[in-house]
Amino acid sequence: MSSKKEKMIAKRMAYIDSSGIRKVFNLASKMKDPVNLSIGQPDFDTPDRIKESAIKAIREGKNKYTLTQGITELNRKILETYQKRYTMNPPQSVMITSGTSGGILLSFLCLVNPGDEVLIPDPYFVMYKHLTHLVGGRVVFYNTYPDFKIKEKHIRDKITDKTRIIIINSPNNPTGMVYSHQELEIINKVAQEHDLFIISDEIYDSYVYDDEYTSMLDITNNALVLKGYSKNFSIPGWRIGFALGPDWLISEMIKLQQFSFVCAPSFAQYAVLDNLDFDLKTIKNDYKEKRDAIYSLLKDDFEIQKPGGAFYIFPRTPSGQSGTEFVTKAIEHNLLIIPGNVFSESDTHFRISFAASIKDLKRGAEILIKIKD
């Protein structure tokens, strides 16, 4: 690109780097039969029942714009479900978003003014950092190392008079950690004391393996809660999520969606509506088995926290090696994983997705153990 054209690019783009995950995806397409433990999406195909619902909707002509906030019946059923589930803090409103990522962007645009500070846990899902920069906010990280749990002091030490939002993500990507009721109470207490708003990304809430899951809605209604169907139904390409929260925020997000995403894909909304009763028990049990397998395979050779949810595990790299160095070595041995600095300000870990076959998990573990020294 010529220097003249480079000057035409908005300055905000200087703060946004191409996703390290996408770089690995591109690399995977050029490798011959790699062991791919990098992909953050389900390894099962969309169930036939859900496919048929989508095909039926398309054939019936349900391909036009929907209401900006989503089709009325889907909104009603989702809101009723969560109002009954969380009677202490029932959400006031719901909207269907273009994936959970769409909900993140809309909420940031509605809540963050230039110069406002957004507290983000480190490690973090990659979008939080870059979307904060996109809207002109300032990223402030609160540290959760080494066990990836919430530490009250680490949050309080980062709060200034410019802090506006605390982000949480449980189950967490990339660590797989699930925050306890006590940890979420800490978040809520700090938020109330400093008049902060909470955004809770709960896209992996159906994949919790050991303890009962605690949503931010169990704790407070001073939060926007983001959920979706990409991981549950294996439809990440359909872009279908939803946001639960107070009327004053959801109404603004709906207004903004009119002039951005317009609406979530119509056929996907109807397919989800037909399958709200889909039973995830078998899929969840399968991922728990894979979680147990990868943890058992690696725990004697790596410093590692056993994940309580999602389908990720985040081991520490062997002594003396950065995450980037170790992942480079793994790729040279035909194993695709993601360096920790894609998700963190530190480069000390690497992410494995155990949304893969047991066979590939064993192959991947063998390579990791082989190259660790």
Q: Break the chain into its structural domains and give their ranges.
A: 3-46+280-371, 63-274
Find, among 20, 268, 244, 252, the residue nearest to 129 by Cα: 20
* CB within 8 Å of 23: residues ≥ 6 apart: none
Percent of the chain at pLDDT exceeding 90: 88
> Position 363: which residue type?
R
Cis peptide before 318 (omega within 30 of 0): no
Q: Using 50, 70 and 90 to split pLDDT, how confident is the model at 25?
A: low
* CB within 8 Å of 365: residues ≥ 6 apart: 294, 297, 298
* pLDDT of 2 higher than 60: no
Give yes or no for a contact between 323 and 341, defined as CB atoms under 8 angstroms apart: yes
Find, among 5, 8, 31, 23, the residue nearest to 332 by Cα: 31
> What local confidence, expressed as pLDDT, does residue 23 receive?
63
Mean pLDDT, residues 100-109: 97
Q: Using 50, 70 and 90 to split pLDDT, how confident is the model at 83?
A: very high
Mean pLDDT, residues 81-87: 95
Q: Using 50, 70 and 90 to split pLDDT, how confident is the model at 22?
A: low
Give yes or no for a contact between 284 and 207, defined as CB atoms under 8 angstroms apart: yes
Residue 190, Cα to own-chain centre: how many angstroms?
23
What is the CATH architecture assignment of 63-274? 3-Layer(aba) Sandwich (3.40)
Percent of the chain at pLDDT exceeding 70: 95
Q: Using 50, 70 and 90 to split pLDDT, how confident is the model at 28?
A: low
Q: Using 50, 70 and 90 to split pLDDT, how confident is the model at 20?
A: low
Please write the tens of the pLDDT for every residue from 196-220.
Answer: 999 999 999 999 999 899 999 999 9
Mean pLDDT, residues 68-85: 97
User: H/E element holding 361?
Assistant: helix 358-371
Look up the pTM and report it. Answer: 0.94
Dihedral over Cα of 42, 147, 218, 295: its sign = positive
Mean pLDDT, residues 274-302: 97
Please write the tens of the pLDDT for every residue from 155-201.
Answer: 999 999 999 999 999 999 999 999 999 999 999 999 999 999 999 99
> What local confidence, expressed as pLDDT, does residue 222 receive?
96
Cis peptide before 171 (omega within 30 of 0): yes
Q: Does domain 3-46+280-371 have CATH number 3.50.50.60?
A: no
Give yes or no for a contact between 100 and 90, defined as CB atoms under 8 angstroms apart: no
Please write the tens of the pLDDT for every residue from 116-161.
Answer: 999 999 999 999 999 999 999 999 999 999 999 999 999 999 999 9
Mean pLDDT in the chain?
94
Strands 312-313 and 350-353: antiparallel
Mean pLDDT, residues 64-82: 97
Mean pLDDT, residues 356-372: 96
* pLDDT of 19 higher than 70: no
* CB within 8 Å of 36: residues ≥ 6 apart: 28, 336, 356, 360
